Structure 1
Amino acid sequence: MKKTLILSTALVSLGFAANADITVMSWGGAYGEAQNEAFVKPFVAATGKATIMVDSDNPATPIKAMVESGNVTVDVASLEYADAIRLCDEGVLEPIDISTLPAGADGTPAADDFLPGAVTECGVSTDIWSNVFAYDTTKFPEGPTTVADFFDLEKFPGKRGLRKGAKAVLELALMGDGVPAAEVYDLLRTPEGVDRAFAKLDTIKSEVVWWEAGSQAPQLLADGEVAMTTAYNGRIFAAAMNEGKPFEIVWDGQIYENEMFVVPKGAPNMADAMEFIAFATSTEGLRASAQQISYGPARKSSMLEEIVFKDGKTVMAPHLPTAPANMGNALETSADFWVDYDAELNERFQAWLAQ
């Protein structure tokens, strides 16, 4: 049996990555830890193949650079849905044949077991996560309760944390301005809609603290640097459950999507990378992930039994983006929209920031 390795990013920088059969790039923090526990460690135990996980603030950027330079050192990467679609279209990613993915534990073929859209030409969903906003209950015992409250500096004074980029910020702004979730992308496709979104952001711009890495959002809240912040829902759940932080998620106006495992073109360990993805996205793998962090599994068979957090007592259903009670005014991220408009809107966003 091969020597098994589960190494930190620091060890990788010292040259230990050369000893690994598979290198998986993810987002670090609570999410990376959850994937390490749910996917990497069980895979090493089952196969004996040395596997490491390395971190990035957004794996799409280094993956694209690696492929373009012809120096690919990562075998599997965790990407946002729109990035997985875009990089696949650009020829940066290897195609993944859905017929190679295992059937569900109940025997359902993978093509029928995964939720619609969860398997694309080059990606397989690891979970369904959400951009939400959260607050410290010790500061606002009775709210906020709606997406409009995020923009109400008079009723809920204090700094606001926002992810530094156009995606999920422009959608939030329109919903905060009263646009129903079902109408957001139609409106954002028009100059008037984009202007409206930026006009809404203007109302809080002077009070915004920008974050880039997922771990920064709950830290801003914990340090009291912001009164409320957008964040990945699993990061807030982890801070509340693992660290006892008095944080509350507001699900109104949540923006949810699939996270995807992909294989960069020219990955050094292609066959092992595909084996890892098949293992991780099995019924058992996706259930194990949902037991570590509050992101929903993308397989129907993973949800046939009640999912309980790793503490052995917390039922996860109410904490998942896809729970019916959390879907009242929810927006599914449009990958097609962001593939078409990402460059244009981020250029406008950077210009707006500089004003």
Structure 2
Amino acid sequence: MKKLLALSTALTVVGYTAHADVVVMSWGGAYGEAQTEAHVKPWSAASGINATMVDSDNPAPAVKAMVEAGNVTVDVASLEYADAIRLCDEGMLEPIDISVLPAGADGTPAADDFLAGAVTDCAVSTDIWSNVFAYDSTKYTAETAPKTAADFFDLEKFPGKRGLKKGAKAVLEFALMADGVPAAEVYSVLNTPEGVDRAFAKLDTIKSDVVWWEAGAQAPQLLADGEVAMTTAYNGRIFAAAINEGKPFEIVWDAQVYENEMYAIPKGAPNKDAALEFIKYATSTEGLRAQAQHISYGPARKSALKEELVFKDGKTVMAPHLPTAPENMGNALETSSDFWVDHDAELNERFQAWLAQ
């Protein structure tokens, strides 16, 4: 199947300028490395088309700026789900028809093989990732370690600085769950002025002890340097630090906020046809399984989950480390793209004003 897929990819790229590189923009760090090893390098080898990876703290603003300026220099961008929806609605992305995506390795049509919501009008899921919080296990015993989102906000029982992402998304949801709002009710609460006030009031309780991070690599570094007692982070960053670097980090899955990450093609991409072939390759059963063997993000195809996934070290079984593992989903919240498409600007404006107070 892999050979057939590679051959198909090599033969079906049309309208491609032979001397141009296909440029993929992603998030850098362990995630960018996983996509480079699982997608960029093997697709380039299979297709005979040179592909390169460039890093960004967040590709969405860069894509928007490029398209608006009429100077698009990347062909594929890795986008958070809500950003992919919003940019598509704004005409910033090329449409992608699900019918052109390859069937699963077991022959299941793509429309039936992808998990619900994993393919949108302009983007295809590469994985399901999560915002979690983590701590250094050498600083606690099994009995005294934090176990819930409420513990993250309890400075008396768990003294020390806290690391938090500098932005409203996932932080406001996390604060509400820590304040006792069930995951199923978070967005109905957050959709009211009183709910927004409640989230910020909860953040007020730790504001003076927060160290803010913006790039994904900063969170595990804050923990490793001892600058914080615990921090929110992307689950794959913590996994990479623990498995690749031997850091004594533990993830707390309570109140995790998870979502699909998406590959999309910016409007006006210089190599649009080749970009689509790259996405078809990367989001095939084999492409999604390959990425999940490099980082602990769950594949978005059912066919990719039919066989056991093992990390690139050949011994670490990935299932317990994935956001979608049943034991990690007890109090999990799926990000609402609809909510953030509608409220991103206003809530981040309020978040910045709150920071400045």
Q: Does 1:320 align with 2:322?
A: yes
Contact 1:158–1:226 (8 Å) recurs in 2: yes
Aligned residue in 1 for 2:140: 140
Which secondary structure does the structure 2 equivalent of 1:138 belong to? Answer: helix
Aligned residue in 2 for 1:62: 62
Contact 1:21–1:272 (8 Å) recurs in 2: no
Aligned residue in 2 for 1:7: none
Structure 1 residues not aligned, in runs of 5+? 1-17
Give the C-alpha shift of residue 20 in structure 1.
4.2
Q: Does 1:126 align with 2:113?
A: no
Aligned residue in 2 for 1:53: 53
Contact 1:82–1:336 (8 Å) recurs in 2: yes
Distance (Å, rounded) in 2 between the aligned partners of 1:34 and 1:28: 9
1:269-295 residue CA offsets vs partner (Å, 9 max, x unmatched): 000000000000000000000000000
Equivalence map 1:164-175=2 (5 Å): 164-175=166-177
Aligned residue in 2 for 1:40: 40
> Which one of the candidate residues 216, 219, 235 is aligned to 2:218?
216
Q: Does 1:155 align with 2:160?
A: no
Distance (Å, rounded) in 2 between the aligned partners of 1:325 and 1:55: 33
TM-score, normalised by the number of residues in structure 2? 0.94
Distance (Å, rounded) in 1 between the aligned partners of 2:96 and 2:298: 22
Aligned residue in 2 for 1:286: 288
Q: Does 1:311 align with 2:320?
A: no
1:179 corresponds to which letter in structure 2? V
TM-score, normalised by the number of residues in structure 1? 0.94
1:221-248 residue CA offsets vs partner (Å, 9 max, x unmatched): 0011111000000000000000000000
Give the C-alpha shift of residue 19 in structure 1.
5.6
Distance (Å, rounded) in 1 between the aligned partners of 2:239 and 2:21: 32
Equivalence map 1:96-245=2 (5 Å): 96-142=96-142, 143-245=145-247
2:63 corresponds to which letter in structure 1? I
Distance (Å, rounded) in 2 between the aligned partners of 1:185 and 1:353: 22
Aligned residue in 2 for 1:9: none
Aligned residue in 2 for 1:76: 76
Distance (Å, rounded) in 1 between the aligned partners of 2:140 and 2:166: 25
Runs (4+) of structure 1 exceeding 4 A deviation are none
Distance (Å, rounded) in 1 between the aligned partners of 2:196 and 2:37: 41
1:191-224 residue CA offsets vs partner (Å, 9 max, x unmatched): 0000000000000000000000001100110011
Distance (Å, rounded) in 1 between the aligned partners of 2:120 and 2:202: 34
Distance (Å, rounded) in 2 between the aligned partners of 1:157 and 1:81: 35
Of all paired residues, the percent bearing the same amino acid is: 83
Aligned residue in 1 for 2:29: 29
Over aligned residue pairs, what C-alpha RMSD do you find?
A: 0.8
Aligned residue in 1 for 2:88: 88
Aligned residue in 1 for 2:12: none
Distance (Å, rounded) in 2 between the aligned partners of 1:218 and 1:123: 29
> Which one of the candidate residues 241, 244, 248 is aligned to 1:246?
248
2:214 corresponds to which letter in structure 1? E
1:22-58 residue CA offsets vs partner (Å, 9 max, x unmatched): 0000000000000000001110111110000000000
Distance (Å, rounded) in 2 between the aligned partners of 1:230 and 1:96: 33
2:106 corresponds to which letter in structure 1? D
